[in-house]
Amino acid sequence: MKAKLQELIEEMKNVVIYSNDDIENFRLKYLSKKGVINDFVSQFRDIDPSQKKEIGQLLNTVKQFAQNKWEEACLNISSKSLNNESEKIDFTLPSEPDFSGSRHPLSIIENRIIGIFRQLGFVLHEGPEIEDDWHNFSALNFPKNHPARDMQDTFFIAEEIALRTHTSSVQVRLMEKQSPPIRAIMPGRVYRNEAVSARANCFFHQIEGIYIDKKVSFKDLKQTLYIFVQQLFGEKIQVRFRPSYFPFTEPSAEMDISCQLCHGEGCNVCKHSGWLEILGCGMIDPNVLKMNGINPDEYSGFAFGMGVERIAMLQFDVKDLRTYFNNDSRFLSQFKNY
């Protein structure tokens, strides 16, 4: 053991420390609980008592050596970085004014969207984020074991209980307690079991709208959404509807707007198509009305749902969805004037 301890000192002498990473590696290897020196301390208990004094002293020397070398390196490296020109602090500069806080970009967009629909006579409604199977799926015409349920990867909390995957669940809650005419706008946070990336997150925000009355038609849906995007993006905006599928609407569509960045010429954001998808919509399936106690022979309605993050990305030219949730004040302070 004596020889090994002497070798260890030599070995430590030869370690060169240049960076903060080197410092940390040195600490982990020699000084931490699972480090080499602690191994020797454990073995020390079992050595012959006659040797204890000598080995004990040597062990202390080794420990002290490692500790000193580490402390010295810490001091050196931190004074080195202070000497670095780019990080030199000029203490005579006036201080920067404190950032006093502002609305989050997602709240700004959400409020704008709600404001537009309120002017059109839509009333605000909210529902719970933890939902049962009935409100999130079954009452919206997703039969049990139907593959359409896989369109939205669900976080289950218990059997039949999940974090809502869309705000369409709030439609159901509204239909069950109110009879038509119903005109409502329903914002909220939704959750999906997706890998987090620049374009997808495991939670995001949606705004849902419904209008149920006598003789509501697809024409009303198109006109309402057209007025909405004109107010949000400006009068020159163009829209197009593409056929789509949702279990709870028939017919279903997705609405695209002309790309705001290249004005239809083609750019990276619109993947050179000139169009951007911003929402899903359709006429509420008669079966959904029936399941929720509304007579489909008497009433019809439309519904739509959009993602707030996506619209905010277009309005503020944000490239990575994750920046919304990093709480970086350099990002957030840009929205002071909205």
- Determine, following the binding rule CB under 6 A, whether residue 303 of this chain makes contact with ligand PHE: yes
Least gap, CB of 180 to ligand PHE (angstroms): 17
Alpha-carbon dihedral angle through residues 161, 164, 165, 167, given to the nearest 10 degrees: 150
Which residue, 37 or 282, has its beta carbon nearer to ligand PHE?
282
Q: How many residues bind ligand PHE (CB under 6 A)?
A: 11
Q: What string marks each residue from 204 to 233 as x (binds ligand PHE by CB under 6 A) or -?
A: ----x-------------------------
Which residue, 22 or 133, has its beta carbon nearer to ligand PHE?
133
Which residue, 40 or 191, has its beta carbon nearer to ligand PHE?
191
Using the structure block, give the residue that is written with the tokens 């053991």. Answer: 1
Residues 167-196 that bind ligand PHE (CB under 6 A): 168
135, with CB counted inside 10 A (0-12, 13-18, 19+), is buried
Of 281, 283, 289, 308, which one interacts with ligand PHE (CB under 6 A)?
281
Using the structure block, give the residue that is written with the tokens 């038609």. Answer: 217
Q: Phi/psi zone of residue 145: left (φ > 0), alpha (ψ -120 to 50 degrees), beta?
A: left
Of 135, 164, 166, 205, which one interacts with ligand PHE (CB under 6 A)?
166
User: Under a CB-based contact definition with an 8 Å cutoff, are residues 54 and 105 in contact?
Assistant: no
Least gap, CB of 70 to ligand PHE (angstroms): 55
**Structure token digits, residue 68:** 């000193």
Query: Prior bond to 181 cis, omega within 30?
Result: yes
Of 105, 188, 247, 282, which one interacts with ligand PHE (CB under 6 A)?
282
* 283 secondary structure, DSSP code: E
Q: How far apart are CA 140 and CA 137, in angstroms?
A: 5
- For binding to ligand PHE (CB under 6 A), which residues are involved? 166, 168, 208, 246, 249, 280-282, 303-305
